[in-house]
Structure 1
Amino acid sequence: MKTLGKKGAATRQAILTSARQAFTESGYDIGVRDIAEKAGVTAMLVNRYFGSKEELFEEVVDVVLSTPGILTGDVMERAPDVSTLCREAAAALVAKTAPDLTPMDGFLIMLRSANNKLATDILRRKFETHFAKPLALLLPGKDAGQRAAMFLSVIAGFQVMRQIVELAALTQADSNQLAARLEAVFELLIMDGPRSA
């Protein structure tokens, strides 16, 4: 990528900011012209900087998934063991899905783009790169990839039920109790093999 001057970098950032907001609010199906208009540029300039809407979406998803959240790389790197990871992930999930908070951008982009195959292909790759593969590397034993994917599924499902559906049992629950139960679920998922009856 060629080096941009100050003005070029500012324009590129304005497009990225506009695209993040647009994809968060409307999903992948938002038009490039809408993104360009909110950035104060032309659609042609968006394509000049990013090549295509697909490439712009990929970059936005990369930026969003790199932002500290529930299970980001720094959380995974910082945790000395998987038990600590489970505790920190559970606490972060409860804190970031509090009923008075707006759902996180990455979650909303995923939710609002789920009906578009191209977008879901990009999201799948990015979620694997940012979360599933690094998490699987931390998990002991076999089927780590499957257990990591289930871990992520619990996170996504909890977000849907607490922030979108707003189940009273989750929105009105004691935060410490929710975190403790989620931690127990996460610990089950990191175990190597099912619990014996």
Structure 2
Amino acid sequence: MRSESPRSPSDPPVVKRPRNAEATREAILRSAVEAFTRVGYDAAGVRDIARDAGVTAMLVNRYFGSKERLFAECVDVAFAPRTVVTDDPATLSRDIARSLVERTGPEADHLSPFLLMLRSAPNPRTAEIARDGIERHVQRELAQMLTGDQAGERSALALSVIAGVWLMRKVLGTTALVEADADDLARRLEEVLRVVLEDPDRP
């Protein structure tokens, strides 16, 4: 057996670099959100997610246990931050309308929670996970800002309006909505959302 050559005093010191577990986990999540948003749950492969994150598929499984659990964490990552729902009840309809128009514009980022939901909806299990994420995060938070009865129902209805606009304007690219004046579109959306979100019993 050949022995290792003795180290020279002039050799640089050997530094063992510890794996940054949190950074690795975040890299995997970013890669997975990108993949699930781009092609949906069924078409996204763990090996591809691992490759884009710079790790092995074995490491992905070590951190998340399964592809389904990885998707569930991606849903939490995607839906926990607010994208179009703001936190001021007094200007809620106006703020959501303006933010929605901005987020569905031609130059807007494609990595939206809506697309993550839409492209994974054909799988019954991931549709269930996405629904749970929506209800635990944005739907509940929006309902808590509303006054009056049936806040949960009104919150879900408002999210349905948001999802419909997102689908028609950003995904399908409906000509009338894409070419509409942004300020005019936001004003019309504000009127629709006000009907849904405001307390119907408020004088």
Let me know the Cα RMSD of the aligned residues. Answer: 1.7
* 1:23 paired residue number: 36
Of the three residues 135, 143, 149, the one matched with 1:142 is: 149
Of the three residues 107, 118, 142, the one matched with 1:111 is: 118
The runs of 4+ residues in structure 1 deviating greater than 4 Å are: none
Cα distance in 2, alignment partners of residues 14 and 103 from structure 1: 19
Cα distance in 2, alignment partners of residues 151 and 61 from structure 1: 20
TM-score scaled by structure 1?
A: 0.86
How far is 1:93 from its partner?
A: 0.3
The reply to whether residue 54 of structure 1 matches residue 104 of structure 2 is: no
Aligned residues: 183
* 1:70 paired residue number: 84
* 1:13 paired residue number: 26
Work out the percentage of aligned pairs sharing the same amino acid.
49
How far is 1:42 from its partner?
A: 2.2
Q: Which amino acid aligns with 1:14?
A: A
Q: Which amino acid aligns with 1:176?
A: D
Cα distance in 1, alignment partners of residues 199 and 47 from structure 2: 49
Alignment of structure 1 residues 116-131 onto 2, 5 Å = 116-131=123-138
TM-score scaled by structure 2?
A: 0.83
Query: Structure 1 regions of 5+ residues with no counterpart?
Result: none
Larger radius of gyration: 2
1:32–1:104 CA distance, 2 compared to 1 (3 A): closer
How far is 1:193 from its partner?
A: 4.0
How far is 1:192 from its partner?
A: 3.6
Structure holding more helix per residue: 1
Cα distance in 1, alignment partners of residues 25 and 108 from structure 2: 29
How far is 1:125 from its partner?
A: 0.8
User: Which range moves more in the overlay, 39-48 or 126-135?
Assistant: 39-48
Q: Which amino acid aligns with 1:27?
A: G
The answer on whether the counterparts of 2:82 and 2:138 sit within 8 Å (CA) in structure 1 is no
